[in-house]
Structure 1
Amino acid sequence: MSTKYKTSNPEGIYFLSMATVEWVDVFTRREYCEIVVASLRFCIERKGLILHAWVIMPNHLHLIASAAENKELTSILRDFKKFTATQLLTAIQENPAESRKRWMQWIFQSNGARNSQNRHHQFWQQSNHPQELDSNYLMSQKLDYLHQNPVKTGLVEEPAHWRYSSATDYAGGKGLLSLVFLE
């Protein structure tokens, strides 16, 4: 059995990537990003998620995270993805300003129909591609990659200017979520 994409070390810190199916640009609207932020906050406060860094991009998000003692990161992420998928699908359906509604619903529904693990819709791609950050070099590399992502894609000029990121925290400001900084 492959261990390449598994959170096999319960005490490990992991770089995680979660993408929408077919890389649909859902997170171009603030209200959808706020659902993700609220869910991350809930996971931090109630489920034992330890968040070290994060960024929401238009069609994916990256986290550097670990789990509190006696908690499983895999379970936290499973619950996070299930909850946010339901909330986001509902928000898309109920958003009168969503001009891409029918197109997005068709993509989520057709992906769900092809996946035996879903009943109706699939919002997130299956894997989180966890990579354990077991050295200072890897931590620094992934932290830089995560924070530079909005800059490299042309969304902002400086990492700290991206609202949906921990770059503000690492630059000395106060961001949207509570973090445990990487050392």
Structure 2
Amino acid sequence: MKEGYIIREQGKAHFVTATVVDWIDVFSRKSYRDCVIECLDYCIKNKGMILYGYVIMSNHIHMIIQSNVAELSNLLRDFKKFSAKTILEKIQNEPESRREWMLERFKKATESHSRNKNYQFWQYGNHAEEIYTEHFLWSKLDYIHMNPIRAGIVSNIEDYIYSSASNYVNGTGVIEVELLEIPKVDVLKPSSFEKYISQ
């Protein structure tokens, strides 16, 4: 992991990116996106995860998270281990046209690391950035929610199901998140922040 992304303040909220090995588009399938949602839900209910925002893209996820029980590094390790195991089982046991190709890539990724014997699903490291100001917090949440628009998937942030944008805009989502208090002043560009302050 790069030195700049080491989690030094384990109790603080962080913006985290987790990327699939070789940027494989695993999450183009709903089944695997649902696995991530189930794993996040489990960590919220059983591991002390506080999830403030997230988005699941085709080959990576972004989250703003905090741990209220254990060290954040350990929580992320457990989330990645649990989600990788669950998704790999689905790839191996359910209909998947890309099975052999994906498993070959995940197997090859273990050659440079000794931690995983059979398959490596997530890239090592979490690209974790500590949330140190309110401005940084909201800029990262905005970045998360704008991902599907930048990718050309949807026109409105709240229309992408696998994101916390609908939690903030409509008050509901596929998973509950810890809603952040809307700041009193615009800390983002007015155009992207408009939907938040109109509630």
> CA offsets, 1:130-169, max 9 Å, x none?
1011101111110010000011011111111111000000
Q: In the alignment, which residue of structure 1 is the partner of 2:76?
A: 77
The one-letter code matched in structure 2 to 1:73 is L
Please tell me whether residue 33 in structure 1 is matched to residue 33 in structure 2: yes
The one-letter code matched in structure 2 to 1:121 is Y
Q: How does 1:65-104 map to 2 (within 5 A)?
A: 65-68=65-68, 70-96=69-95, 98-104=96-102
CA contact (8 A) 2:16 2:129 kept: yes
Q: In the alignment, which residue of structure 1 is the partner of 2:170?
A: 172
Larger radius of gyration: 2
Aligned residues: 180
Q: In the alignment, which residue of structure 2 is the partner of 1:182?
A: 180
Which structure 1 residue ranges, 5 or more long, are not aligned?
A: none
CA RMSD of the aligned region, Å? 1.2
Instruction: Calculate the TM-score normalised by the size of structure 2.
Output: 0.87
Q: In the alignment, which residue of structure 1 is the partner of 2:193?
A: none
Distance in 1 (CA, whole Å) between partners of 2:172 and 2:180 is 16
Instruction: Calculate the TM-score normalised by the size of structure 1.
Output: 0.94
Identical positions, percent:
39
CA contact (8 A) 2:52 2:180 kept: yes
The one-letter code matched in structure 2 to 1:24 is I
Q: How does 1:51-66 map to 2 (within 5 A)?
A: 51-66=51-66
Structure with larger RCO (C-alpha < 8 A, sep 6+):
1
Distance in 2 (CA, whole Å) between partners of 1:178 and 1:71 is 20
Deviating above 4 A after TM superposition, structure 1's stretches of 4 or more consecutive aligned residues are none
Distance in 1 (CA, whole Å) between partners of 2:34 and 2:57 is 13
Q: In the alignment, which residue of structure 1 is the partner of 2:155?
A: 157
How far is 1:176 from its partner? 1.5
Which structure 2 residue ranges, 5 or more long, are not aligned?
A: 182-199
Q: Which has the higher helix share?
A: 2
How far is 1:3 from its partner? 5.1
Q: In the alignment, which residue of structure 2 is the partner of 1:118?
A: 116
Q: In the alignment, which residue of structure 1 is the partner of 2:19?
A: 19
